[in-house]
């Protein structure tokens, strides 16, 4: 549902404009509420409410007796917040999440199918250059189907 890479900025109040190309599928699918939390590799994950509820169900199935499951759930949920898009297409990102991802002003927003990720511009450049080195091998090892 969400695709592409977009350069944007975070304003001084911690608001991020969601690119119009990402807002279109939201409108088409009646999405008006989001959940923002810590992602991996120091980015933020933004989920539509329906996808968030699906993820919650998966977390409920994790065994509470496993410390790694408890740790993952705590880190994932403790930073999470709900956010709505305002009339200008902005969502508010709490300071603790801006700090976690090192977001100052210039950011890269990418659509990753069922989620949106927000990266510090420089961190994204470093990460994407490095990960492209393994792109073909990852496809061969993980995907397991022909495009």
Q: What does each of the 147 residues of the chain score in pLDDT, given as a tens digit?
A: 889 999 999 999 999 988 878 876 666 555 678 899 999 999 999 998 889 999 999 999 999 999 999 999 999 999 999 998 888 889 999 999 999 999 999 999 999 999 999 999 999 999 999 999 888 888 888 876 666
Q: How far is CA 33 from CA 26, 38, 83, 115, in A?
A: 9, 17, 6, 13
Instruction: Please name the residue that has the structure tokens 């403790």.
Output: 78
Residue 70: per-residue pLDDT: 96
Residue 85: per-residue pLDDT: 84
Reported pTM: 0.90
Q: Read off the pLDDT of residues 69-83 as tens digits, 9 standing for 90 and up.
A: 999 999 999 999 999
Q: List residues bridging with 4 in a β-sheet.
A: 111
Q: How far is CA 37 from the centre of its chain?
A: 7
At the second CATH level, the architecture of 2-143 is 3-Layer(aba) Sandwich (3.40)
Residue 5: per-residue pLDDT: 96
End-to-end CA distance of the chain, in Å?
18
Residue 58: per-residue pLDDT: 96
Which residues neighbour 56 within 8 Å (Cβ) at sequence distance 6 or greater?
none
| Structure-block tokens of residue 33 | 């509420």
């Amino acid at each position: 549902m969400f695709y592409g890479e977009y350069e944007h900025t975070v304003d001084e109040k911690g608001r991020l404009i969601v690119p119009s190309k990402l807002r279109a599928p939201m409108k088409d699918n009646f999405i008006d509420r989001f959940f923002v939390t810590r992602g991996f590799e120091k980015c933020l994950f933004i989920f539509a409410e329906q996808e968030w509820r699906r993820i919650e169900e998966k977390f409920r199935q994790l065994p509470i007796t496993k410390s790694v499951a408890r740790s993952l759930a705590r880190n994932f949920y403790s930073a999470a917040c709900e956010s709505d898009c305002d009339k200008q297409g902005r969502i508010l990102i709490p300071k603790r999440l801006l700090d976690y991802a090192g977001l100052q002003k210039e950011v890269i927003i990418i659509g990753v199918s069922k989620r949106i990720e927000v990266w510090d511009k420089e961190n994204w450049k470093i990460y994407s250059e490095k990960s492209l080195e393994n792109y073909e091998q990852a496809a061969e090892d993980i995907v397991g189907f022909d495009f």
